Every structure is written in C-alpha cells, then in structure tokens.
Amino acid sequence: MRTITKDTISHIGEQVVVKGWVESRRDHGGLIFIDIRDHGGIAQLVIQPETAEAFAVAEQLRDEFVIEATGLVRERAENLHNPNIATGSIEIKVETLHILNRSEPMPIQIHGDAQGGNMASEELRLKYRYLDLRRPKMQDILRKRAIYYKVMRDYMEGHEFVEVTTPILANSSPEGARDFLVPSRVHAGTVYALPQAPQQFKQLLMVGGVSRYYQIATCFRDEDPRADRLYGDFYQLDLEMSFVDDGEEVRTMMEPLIKQLVTDFGGKKLLSEDIPRLTYEDAMNRYGSDKPDLRFGMELIDLSDTLKDSGFGVFAGAIRDGGAVKAIAVKGAAVLSRSQIDHFTDIAKSEGAGGLAYLTFDAGEIKSPIAKFLSLEELEQIKQKAGAADGDIVFFGADKLPVVNKVLGRLRSEFADHFKLKDPDVVALAWIIDFPFYEWDDKANRLDFGHNPFSMPKASVEDLAAASDEDKLKIVADQYDMVMNGYEICSGAVRNHNPDIMYQMFGGLGYDTAYVDTKFGAMINAFKYGAPPHAGCAFGIDRIFMVLMGEENIREIVAFPKNGSGIDTMMNSPSVVDAAQLKELHVQAALED
C-alpha cells in the first residue's frame, strides 16, 4: 500500500510503504511525529529513537519535504484518536525513512483556507499554482472534475452521440467576441483563428452524415475576464443533432443530463423538476434579465397604466415619451439604512438610471419624498399591484423600457444578495427561447446580428426581404439559452441550413453574396448538397461546475487559469518573443506610446 486513504485502518498489523509530503513535524523529545500527506489523505508517522537511522532522518524533515516511510500500521490509544482526519484511529510506527526530495521554505501557505484568513492572495496562488494545487480542496476539485467529464461522456454516448474532435487552427467566425489570431509562416500575410466555437465544423459534420455529434471542446475568445468567465480558453460540451427542426427536441434531449449533474453529481436540490420555458421578451419584462435567477421572486411590476397621468413628472414624462414605469417590491427592506439605500442608488445609476425613487411601507404609513406627488388612489394601486406590506420598500424605474428592465434587473439581483435569498443548495433552471435575430448597435449606429448568423429565423424568405429595419428588430430566431441560478450555461439554436435564407439574413445587414461566400464558403457550398435540418447547443461546463461546487469565482475550479487581467503569472504569458520568430511569421511588433 502506498496511497493514504481511510482504508488504511484495514491494514492494522501489516507493514506498509507510504510516500508523500510532510504536512507537519512535531518533536516530543523521545518521539517524533510526522503527518504525511498524499492525494488520498493524511496519516501520522511515529519515529522512535530505537530506529536510529530513521530518527536521524526525521530530525532533518521540514514542511513539504517528499518522503518515503516503511512501517507497521497500529491502532492509536483511544484517547489519542484524531477525529479530524479519516485515518485518525491509526498511526504508522516507522522502521525506515527516506528523503526523496527536499523543499525550500514555501512561498505560499497551503494548509489554510479563506475562512481562516490563512490563504495567500489570488495573485500569489496563481503564480505558484503548482503548490496551490496541493491543497486538499484543489485536489478534490480536480478529481470531481474528472468524474464530471465522465458523467457527461457516458450520457452522450448512451444516446448515440459520436465524439468528434474539430480543428483548433481554423478560420475567423463571428461568434460575438474577438478572435485569437495565429499568423501563418507558410502563407505570408494570412492568419488562422483559434475557434470561438466549433460552430461551422459541427454543422458540416451534419452535412457529412453524422447523425449526432458531441465533443468536450476547447474554445478561445478574447473577452475581458470576470468572476464567471475565464480569459482565453474555456471548455464546453458541444453537440449537434441531424433531422431536427424544432429546438424543443434538443432541449428535451439534454435536460436529463443537466438534472443528473445537479442532483446525483452535485448533490443539490432542483427548484423544480419541470424546467420552465420563457421567451426572451417575457424574461426581460418579468425579471429584467435574459438569464434570470428563479430561486427567488421579486418580479418586475409594470405600473405604466397606473401612473400615466401621475402628478409626479418623472413618471408621467417617461411614459409620455414612450417609456415605462416599473417597480420591484423588496420584502423587509424597510430595515435598510440611508447609506445602504444610497449604495443601491449608485448601482441603479451605474446601469443608466437618473436616480432611484422608492416608497417605504412602515406601520401603516407610506414614507417617501415622492409620496406627496402621488394620489391616494395611485398609492393604493401601487401597494396592491406590488403586493407590498408593512416593512417593505417598492423601488421604481422610469425611462425607456430597455433601461428600466436593465436597472431593475440588476437591483433585483443585488437585493437578493443583500437579503440572502439565493440558496446555494438549490438550483433553478430555465430555458430562454425566441431571442431577437437582429439588434441595434448604438456604437455603430446600425443593425447587427443578435447572437450569430447561423440560427434559423422564424420568418419566411419573403417576409425577410420585405422587412424594414424596424420590422427586422421584431424577427425572432429559433434560438435558446439555458440559465442556472442567474448564469447562462448553454446557448443553442435550430440552424439555418438554407443558403437562400442565409444570403437574405446577411443581405438585411448590407452584406452581399460575395461576402457570405468568402466568409462561409465551405458551409454555404455544403448546404447546396442536401443538408439535413439540424440543431444543437453548447453548455459552458466550467460555469456549470462552478455553480455545482458552490464557488463564486470560476478560476477556483480550473487547474491553471489566468488571473483577472488575463495574465498567466506562473508561465509569464503573454510574453515578448524573439524578433526572428516574428520575422519568420511575417509580423512586426508595433507598440503604442
């Protein structure tokens, strides 16, 4: 035996060999105790002076030395049991002890935790990630991630999906983010792009006769990192199904896997076995987000009809200008201090609001600077529609509808955090369907694709051809996302496999057929040779795993992540390369002042 596990207790009376790192060393004069650790756990070694050679070695040991010990497993005295470790009822009486490698003083503490305040900063932990990975928590994460992958593969292969790997050196594809580009040495002036997703390849597999495809795909996007998004490379469960013309078939196929991951693998409770379907429009209007957290209520209430003739000019003016007045009722919020309300006001302003109006319901009274501008009838209707009671506060948003939804959607999440309404042991799933095919890009002052151009629009070729810009904004795609506790964990669609519709959708944005042929020639040409209707999706498996492990930072569940600035401080990447390498790639480095 050389792996330390709780099963070590079954070896009492046997001689064993164990190898690992020195967790700690305690010298009690006549005895030296060593806690030895490997990936399986910790065991206590006892070295007595009678074993002179082993005792001399034990006197040299320091934390994180790599050692090998041979000895007899014996039961500890009952009053010396250690309930904090799985092997706390036994110890190993050492006969021989060898140092396999020494360790310099550790640059980070690996025995503490965040709760105890003993952990190093994230920056240091990532710089010495190979040491940080020795922590039991990180070892557990890596093992669970391997099991997580196996559960997914077993499910997919059990449903006749074939795993196919697709190219990493590919072409640029519009997936909504910047590409990572790789200059070609052989073909001067051209570049490869690392795939943001295997989108075109998996659709070509459908044309190629693969009925059901999947892979755990590495994807690359040059997006700013954040707590729920890795920088650079990330992983997704990518899949596609032939002869599917309805997104519901894909959704129904994949729901059992996600439920299994939540309950059987993650050990969490589903809010509901029945996963709701919400249109994009419905989700935005009810929750102010296209990835709503359904673990709590606090839905947005439309008060535009109630307040259209209000004496409060901010409300009446917003409605008169084509906007809306909406509100959320926050239960128990009357306990908020003035400074706390100011904090939430700053959040509202950061999302585009001019301020944050509210009504406080307290001891049968309504307290607010704006109450005097509202009639008794308006106040009563607000109370009834919001379901407000004593101790609650109703917060308002008044502006253009998208701004109001965005502001109140953000506040809804912030209030839920403040009042601890997000139960970490519960998972709420939902499908968001019928996304807008086009959207208006304020920066470019033009129409653009809402997500990507590969989705099938729910409109005929004739309707597309006749649509004005305003009409185009009403076109929805047969596109769907799955959300989990406020995170988008999946995006998919019924694919546009019709070249005529593809040309028409790009033409609606001013792109001619030559542009489409240049960018997507392989796919367009393939579709001319009997492309089956097909649909699919991709699950963000890093983000799902983060939720299931109860982590709030996605970098905690990956072996070697980059830091919050997109830098790998351990490997010193990105880095400057030799000028000869750049020349070979026909590239010059031009640094801005």
HSE at residue 20, side-chain half, CA atoms within 13 A, is: 24
Question: Average pLDDT of 425-435?
Answer: 97
93 or 524: whose pLDDT is higher? 93
User: How long a stretch of residues is the chain?
Assistant: 593
pLDDT in tens, 352-389: 999 999 999 998 889 999 999 999 999 999 999 999 99
pLDDT in tens, 445-494: 888 888 777 888 887 767 776 677 778 888 899 999 999 999 999 999 99
Query: Across the strands, what pairs with 74?
Result: 91
The CATH architecture to which 296-421 belongs is: 2-Layer Sandwich (3.30)
Q: Which amino acid is at 36?
A: I
Domain residue ranges of the chain, discontinuous segments joined by +: 6-101, 140-277+430-558, 296-421
- CA–CA gap between residue 123 and residue 128 (Å, rounded): 9
The pLDDT confidence band at residue 112, using thresholds 50, 70 and 90, is low
pLDDT in tens, 288-333: 999 999 999 999 999 999 999 999 999 999 999 999 999 999 999 9
Q: Name the helix (H) or strand (E) containing 132.
A: helix 129-132
pLDDT in tens, 214-267: 999 999 999 888 888 899 999 999 999 999 989 999 999 999 999 999 999 999
The pLDDT confidence band at residue 412, using thresholds 50, 70 and 90, is very high
Question: Average pLDDT of 413-434?
Answer: 97
Question: Average pLDDT of 538-552?
Answer: 97
Question: Contact at 8 Å (CB) between 472 and 437?
Answer: yes
pLDDT of residue 117: 56
Q: Name the helix (H) or strand (E) containing 44.
A: strand 41-47
Q: Residue 200 pLDDT more than 80? A: yes
* Cα distance from N-terminal residue to C-terminal residue, the chain: 61
pLDDT of residue 482: 98
Report pTM: 0.91
Query: Across the strands, what pairs with 367?
Result: 360
Query: Across the strands, what pairs with 34?
Result: 25, 45
pLDDT of residue 593: 54
pLDDT in tens, 497-515: 988 888 888 887 888 889 8
What's the fold here for domain 140-277+430-558?
BirA Bifunctional Protein; domain 2 (3.30.930)
pLDDT of residue 118: 67
> Span 6-101: which CATH code?
2.40.50.140
**Cα torsion for 397, 398, 404, 407, to the nearest 10°?**
-40
pLDDT of residue 226: 83
